[in-house]
Structure 1
Amino acid sequence: MRITTLDPARAARLGAAELTYRPAGGTPHPRPGYDAFSRSRRLGRRDLEGAAAELLGWEVHARAGLAVAASAPRAEVGVVVEMRLGVGPLGIRIPCRVVRVVDEPDRRGFAYGTLPGHPEAGEELFVIERGSDGALTFTVAAFSRPASLLARAGGPLTRWVQAAMTGRYLRALDAP
């Protein structure tokens, strides 16, 4: 998939929209009434800076099969992104705003929160951590609940799609 610049008018509308949950910035801590998960994968690569550049540059999402349109080329607090799963009128819009950036010596990543139009309400964290042995671990953690009729009607299928996308994200940093 590709990464494009979000149309400025669309970026402004999404930038002004309220998040669909409260309070922001709490991943990975679950909230009452939300489903939560955390999955990790040890990466084959060992370059934290390179992996972080790909993660923060939206490559993970594009490699996972999403069309990505972001208001900035790098995830920073306040940046909005609209992803699409699927094509044409059957595609699902996935608008989010970056609510947190992790920039520590051995940890890099970000979290985004859902905006109106997203099928779920909640937050998702993507973080890469370098262990004492130099190995990298990539973790995706989230809390969410259905926000659209489609997501509510999907029941277990909705959670299966979320789990499948998480697996794609976790494999994407080892992809060429």
Structure 2
Amino acid sequence: MPFTYPDVGATRAPTLPAGYHRFRLRRPIGHGRDLFDRAASHVLGFGMQKGVGIFQRANTETAREGTELMVRLGAGPFGIDAPCRVVYVLDDPNRRGFAYGTLPGHPERGEELFAVEYDPADDTVYGLITAFSTPAAWYTRLGGPIARLAQRWFAHRYLRTLPSGTVR
């Protein structure tokens, strides 16, 4: 299935594409290379999605380019299955994570990056969520600002699933 948006991979860029709702959330979770490694394993094993209870399934144990996964947005009978595919995986010495993009059937069109960053200058580890999206279904268009608030609420919840250490 093709991605539902033209800007595939754009969460890699410092500037997110125009025409979408865009946001970045970055916060410190602690210090040390060990914390960075543990947090990276958590992210790459879909720990953020599992931790907030939306993970349904993926065709690989850890995020790899091309991995297809299903998340479930909403609760109970009001939940919506939302298919995604991993666009790319970050595996840099000081930055690890992955981005997934939306597939047909997802209520939004866009991409989201889930990552951790290590700053060797002061040993700080950061959790990072970067996203751009626009409604793809009538009910997300109708939800407007409420859908945007829900997306930000989830981003904060994703970061709370990360292992943490002492924040100086």
TM-score, normalised with respect to structure 1 = 0.85
Distance across 2 between alignment mates of 1:169 and 1:148: 24
Does the residue aligned with 1:60 lie in a helix, a strand or coil? Answer: helix
- Tell me, which stretches of 5 or more residues in structure 1 are unaligned? 1-16
Does the CA contact (< 8 Å) of 2:30 and 2:126 recur in 1? no
Query: 2:110 is matched with which residue?
Result: 122
> Cα offset for 1:60?
1.0
- Tell me, which stretches of 5 or more residues in structure 2 are unaligned? none
Does the CA contact (< 8 Å) of 1:58 and 1:68 recur in 2? no
> Cα offset for 1:76?
0.6
Distance across 1 between alignment mates of 2:114 and 2:91: 12
Question: Paired residue for 1:32, among 13, 18, 31?
Answer: 18
Does the residue aligned with 1:43 lie in a helix, a strand or coil? Answer: strand
> Cα offset for 1:85?
2.4
Query: 1:99 is matched with which residue?
Result: 87
Residues 152-161 or 88-97, more deviating: 88-97
Does the CA contact (< 8 Å) of 1:45 and 1:174 recur in 2? no
Does the CA contact (< 8 Å) of 1:66 and 1:85 recur in 2? yes
Does the CA contact (< 8 Å) of 1:118 and 1:147 recur in 2? yes
Length, aligned pairs only: 159
> Cα offset for 1:65?
2.4
Query: 1:167 is matched with which residue?
Result: 156
> Cα offset for 1:97?
0.4
> Cα offset for 1:127?
1.5
> Cα offset for 1:45?
5.6
Distance across 1 between alignment mates of 2:44 and 2:131: 17
Structure 2 letter corresponding to 1:141: T
Question: Paired residue for 2:127, among 134, 138, 141?
Answer: 138
Does the residue aligned with 1:62 lie in a helix, a strand or coil? Answer: helix
| Cα-to-partner distance string for 1:125-172 (whole Å, 9 max, x where unaligned) | 112111122110011001110111110000110001101101101111
Structure 2 letter corresponding to 1:42: P
Alignment CA distance shift 1:142-1:78 (3 Å): same
Query: 1:84 is matched with which residue?
Result: 72
Residues 37-46 or 101-110, more deviating: 37-46
Structure 1 letter corresponding to 2:109: A
Distance across 2 between alignment mates of 1:67 and 1:78: 17
Structure 2 letter corresponding to 1:33: G
Distance across 1 between alignment mates of 2:30 and 2:117: 13
| Cα-to-partner distance string for 1:106-136 (whole Å, 9 max, x where unaligned) | 1101111001111110011112111122110
Identity of aligned residues (%): 43
Cα RMSD (Å) = 1.4
